[in-house]
Amino acid sequence: MSKLPLITAKDMATVLESIGFRFIRQKGSHAFYAHSDGRVTLIPFHKGEDLHRGLIRSILRNAELSIEGYLALRKKI
């Protein structure tokens, strides 16, 4: 399996919003996103840094989004 491509926090927010998540609040650099069915996740917005692969996997797990689904949505950005 190839490495999971890195993504910026802004692009991850766009991916989540495309599947129905919406921005709820932000405390410091951490933005809280929620879906109407109860799924929630946090995205850290650190200027000039990409999200690390482990964090991307954690966000995808919280969002109940497969890696294949994530890659397909990422191509549409």
- Global pTM reads 0.91
Task: List pLDDT tens digits, range 39-77.
Answer: 999 999 999 999 999 999 999 999 999 999 999 999 887
Q: What is the mean pLDDT of residues 4-8?
A: 92
Task: List pLDDT tens digits, range 31-40.
Answer: 999 999 999 9
Buried b (16+ CB within 10 A) or exposed e, 41-68: bebebeeeeebeeebbeebbebbebeee
Tell me what pLDDT residue 55 has.
96
How far is Cα 60 from Cα 74, in angstroms, rounded to an integer? Answer: 12
Is residue 18 pLDDT above 80, yes or no? yes
Is residue 1 pLDDT above 80, yes or no? no
Domain boundaries defined on the chain: 7-76
- List the structure tokens of 9: 């926090």
Question: What is the domain class of 7-76 according to CATH?
Answer: alpha beta
